[in-house]
Amino acid sequence: MKKILFLLIILVLSTDCFSQNMPSMYESETLKVKPLNSNVFVHVSYLQTNDFGKVGCNGMVYFNKDQAIVFDTPTDDNASKELIEWIEKQQKKKIIAIVVTHFHEDCWGGLNQFHTNHIKSYGSQKTIGLLKQKGLELLPQHDFKNNIEIEVGSASVLIKHFGAGHTEDNVVGYVPMEKALFGGCLLKSVKASKGNLEDANVSEWASTVRKIKQEFPGLNIVIPGHGKGGGMELLDYTIQLFE
């Protein structure tokens, strides 16, 4: 009986410690930040569109030690300011990079606020080229060809282009220590429609996601560009949707 009681006390204490280490959810009218574990978060902001109405747009935040990396900005500078303040002032982490995963507005709409806060921004050469074609002057500061690794705390984070899908330039972000993938708009939440296909390559989409599935088996966390995240089932659903 004493042994059982001792084990129960240990369980309660460990659960309490975990809950203290897990940041609470942040929510305002313009931004939500939800913890998926103690280091990986999804940030959600909103974009008003002509075809789909008000759309929730996902990004990812990853913490390691006293540093953070953000994948895709919130949709405007106000929401980006909220996110930066939540990370740097409330969570006491230094943002060492913002990564723009493709050239659509839901990925870079709040980029100016990151630059105002002297945060380094990254985008692929394809993404920067497509943004220039749109006549935009607000561009990621640092480019890469097909992939780049960025050190965050003591961890290495991979950003890689696997091929065309939602757009020609869409890249994904992978955190090996967490087996976490930010797929952005290349990946669909389960039961989602095909969405915006204006710049899509539907003939290559499934093949591109198969490459990701082969390189990153056993993912624990998968975040799509819109809608609910999950695990490997998002890759399987996206492949099925575009086969």
Active site residues: 102, 104, 106, 166, 185, 188, 196, 226
Quote the CA–CA distance of 21 and 43 in Å, as a whole number.
19
Is 14 buried (19+), middle (13-18) or exposed (0-12) by CB count in 10 A?
Answer: exposed
67-71: strand order across its sheet: 26-27, 32-35, 40-49, 53-64, 67-71, 94-99, 121-124, 142-144
For residue 228, give the DSSP letter. -
Other beta carbons less than 10 A from residue 106's beta carbon? 26
For residue 166, give the DSSP letter. S
What is the DSSP annotation of 85-132? HIIIIIS--EEEEEE--SSSHHHHTTHHHHHHTT--EEEEHHHHHHHH
* Residue pair 217/176 in contact by the 8 Å Cβ criterion: no
Quote the CA–CA distance of 227 and 243 in Å, as a whole number.
21
